[in-house]
Amino acid sequence: MSKILIVEDEIPIASFMQTGLTAAGYDCACVHDGLTAADRIEQESFDLILLDVMLPGADGFELMDLIRPMNIPVIFITARSAVSDRVTGLRLGADDYLVKPFELIELIARIEAVLRRHHKGTNILSLGDVAVHLDSRRVLLNGQSIDLTNREYELLVFFLKNRDMALFRDTIYERVWQGEYSGDTRTIDLHVLRLRRKLHWEERLVTVNRIGYRLNSEP
């Protein structure tokens, strides 16, 4: 499980990130000022740091001086949309940045990309008795290999990475089929039905009225 430090002084945003990332399977710690952040970074090991720029104590740019020699990937979280801030962040060695407000789904996608680049991602996604081995693309149910089509596999991985979130059909279509959504829901619905049946997920992979689907992390 990847360990992430959230450094953000706006409590609602920090809580939003912590709750969402915990549900997505990350081990999260959260601090609200630059000096406490510096202490935690020196005392513990993190796989990634989400770093707000404007912070009491020491700001995000100052913290980069401490973080850079430790080779921990950093994503800047900034309220400022000024191009100069983004350039400064990247020049100081950040791996990526996000401008507030952002959606959880985008945050998770950025985190995964950065962890993948640093080879720190976990290679197994699991939920209940289902385990997906991302390197070999094998899917196991109770330790038994399950045959999925490519689309079913991509759909399963997408649900597992965004568990407990109500996912719109058009979002699912865009991410899994990577095409423009025409409003035809049958393709998605059919794939979800087959996935449900193959994994015995009738209770977990639920229909969300007028939105799409949600994979529940609790049965």
For binding to Ca ion (CB under 5 A), which residues are involved? 9, 52, 54
Q: How many beta carbons lie within 10 A of that of residue 130, not counting itself? A: 19
Q: What is the smallest separation between the CB atom of 59 and Ca ion, expressed in angstroms?
A: 9
The 8-class DSSP code of residue 68 comes to: G
Nearer to Ca ion, 8 or 152 (CB): 8
Provide the token pair at 167: 């996912």
Q: What is the smallest separation between the CB atom of 94 and Ca ion, expressed in angstroms?
A: 15
Q: What is the smallest separation between the CB atom of 50 and Ca ion, expressed in angstroms?
A: 12
Nearer to Ca ion, 46 or 76 (CB): 76
Nearer to Ca ion, 98 or 141 (CB): 98
Q: What is the smallest separation between the CB atom of 9 and Ca ion, expressed in angstroms?
A: 5
Query: In this structure, are residues 83 and 61 in contact, taking their beta carbons and an 8 Å threshold?
Result: no
**In Å, what is the CA distance from 177 to each residue of 62, 180, 187?**
42, 8, 10
**In Å, what is the CA distance from 110 to each residue of 62, 86, 95?**
23, 15, 10
Query: How far is the C-alpha of 103 from the C-alpha of 211, rounded, in Å?
Result: 17
Nearer to Ca ion, 9 or 170 (CB): 9
Q: What is the smallest separation between the CB atom of 68 and Ca ion, expressed in angstroms?
A: 20
Nearer to Ca ion, 97 or 173 (CB): 97
Nearer to Ca ion, 52 or 85 (CB): 52
56: buried, middle or exposed (CB in 10 Å: 19+, 13-18, 0-12)?
A: exposed
Which residue number places its CB atom closest to Ca ion? Answer: 54
Query: How far is the C-alpha of 102 from the C-alpha of 95, rounded, in Å?
Result: 17
Select from 165, 166, 187, 186 the least CA-distant residue to 176: 187
Query: How far is the C-alpha of 217 from the C-alpha of 203, rounded, in Å?
Result: 11
Q: What is the smallest separation between the CB atom of 56 and Ca ion, expressed in angstroms?
A: 8
